[in-house]
Structure 1
Amino acid sequence: MRKCKGLTLTELMIALLLATFLLGVTFTAFGSLSRSVRQTQQLAQLQQNAQLVMNLLHNELANVGFWGGRSDLDDILQAAALAPPLADCAKAGLDSGSFPQPGQSFVTLYAEKVQPGRPLDCVSQPIAGSELLQVKRLLGQYAVPAAMRQNRFYVETDWQHARFVDSGSAELNPALDYFPYQHLVLYLQTQQHDDTEVPVLMRKRLARSNSGQAVISTDSVLDGVERMHFQFGVDADGDGSLNYMLPTEQMTAELWQRNAVVSLRYHILLRSTQPDIHYRNNQTYQLGVHRFTAPDDHYRRLLISNSVYFSNATLN
């Protein structure tokens, strides 16, 4: 009688046990690799966003205090103003908005800690507890009337006078200097991305429409910016040097209206845009005088801080 060759039940069970073990090792290794890749990607994203934020703030703040070489804004403020945009970025009782208005202050740098409500007329639904920053300045490169961009406003200036103009203004003189004028507001807002709420750095900017009207445009700058706080270097005696630092909530209307700020220190807390269920965050982050404790969630964070010195404000 021929004997049948094959595996016994014991051998099959041993083979099944070995296969299960190897499969478990494979899944464990794959899960560990996947978590490592996710961590690496999120840390790289945070580092990249940190560089983008620092570049943005450096570019936007580098010329704070620059008004075409003028040390006195009185003649600019007294010149006939252009029509302001609807829903302008103005602050009642403190700042006139995009252009000077009779009987109102024209503040070139301003920050505010966001409380419930609307901090500026142009900003809606900002993240409470964070801060916003408003900047008005001239860009460094001047233009001749023929090279003016239709979507911008300018300041015409020489040693005798200055005024706000645009490409359609009357009596533009090629012999005068025309510097592009910028009015912007940076703030934070929560947006819905798929099924996740993401904090986003937002920007409001003064622009000129095709019909020639002043408008406030809005754009999303960067996802994952969760907190933003500032400290300001104050020139208390008008000699152009820093006397002391103040957080935003200790700045007074008189200091803003006197344009007494010569430097700014920012603290930005970045957050990953997607959660990692294998990571929990309950760390505390110190943003100047403010402290933020992560709510034991699944998001990685990165805190960056830096200072910008306003050389133009010092010269003024």
Structure 2
Amino acid sequence: MIIVEGLGKRYGEKQALKGLDLNVPPGTVHAVLGPNGAGKTTAVRILSTLLRPDEGRAEIAGFDVVRKAADVRARIGLLGQSAAVDEELGGRQNLEMFGRLHHLGARRARARADELLDRFGLSDTGRKAVKQYSGGMRRRLDLAASLITDPEVLFLDEPTTGLDPRGRTEVWNAVRSLVGGGTTVLLTTQYLEEADQLADRISVFGSGQVIAEGTADALKSDLGGDRIDIVLRDAAQLGAAASALPLDLTVDTDRRLLSAPAKDRMAALTQAVRALHTAGIEAEDMAIRRPTLDEVFLHLTKEHA
């Protein structure tokens, strides 16, 4: 549904995109992660026909984003970071207005507004002014507005920025519903939990190109599988514990935490217990866990930040 080959874009002396490749199958969520300046926004602007590339090619639903830009626009929706709805109007009025701006007739615009309000659980708020909506409700209305033409591909740029956990969950459920109906979603986000929850595959950008790609589980496994976390009772003993433990440790003084890769779960746990007992160091907590996507992100992008 989305094909990108050798995409390049330069702003003066800065190379924003450098040989970017991307392939997104239909009916999936593909997350794009990366530090600020990695090229995420530039890529979305090119794919949504708002910017022309300097080199390479990109297609949406089989249409070239440069030569067939009008065909691409007819098949995409875009949800930006800032709200696009009018706060003085009601939810239904907003959606009808978007329908008319997209050249739907008055009857079709009203029908489409009712469909989307029902789909996103906003039917009972259709006449209420948007300024009275909660953050999650407003973002769901934003999402509904981006779907007024029933697009095949939806670009979500930081869709839950500023939302509380409840509002974020509401938007996540709405996105899952869309994908279940066959929509293809390209998601850029700074909330790594969001990518972990929603994405079928993840591309990590660095310096204008893809530096890693795969499922969340595969990316975590590439970091080294499981990890062991050890929390000490006394932060003053962190140095002694780091010397005593036969592990490749990282130390977090504020949390009294020692952390290390653990390729063999039980062996790492047994070694840690014995080493601390021998050294006379008391642990408050000890656990084996999978790496988080935050740790994967920091590891992959440390040279590109």
TM-score, normalized by the shorter chain, greater than 0.5 = no
Higher strand share: 1
- What's the TM-score once normalised by structure 2's chain length? 0.23
Higher helix share: 2
- What's the TM-score once normalised by structure 1's chain length? 0.22
> For the pair shown, which has the larger CA radius of gyration, 1 or 2?
1
Q: Which structure carries more relative contact order (alpha carbon 8 Å, separation 6+)?
A: 2
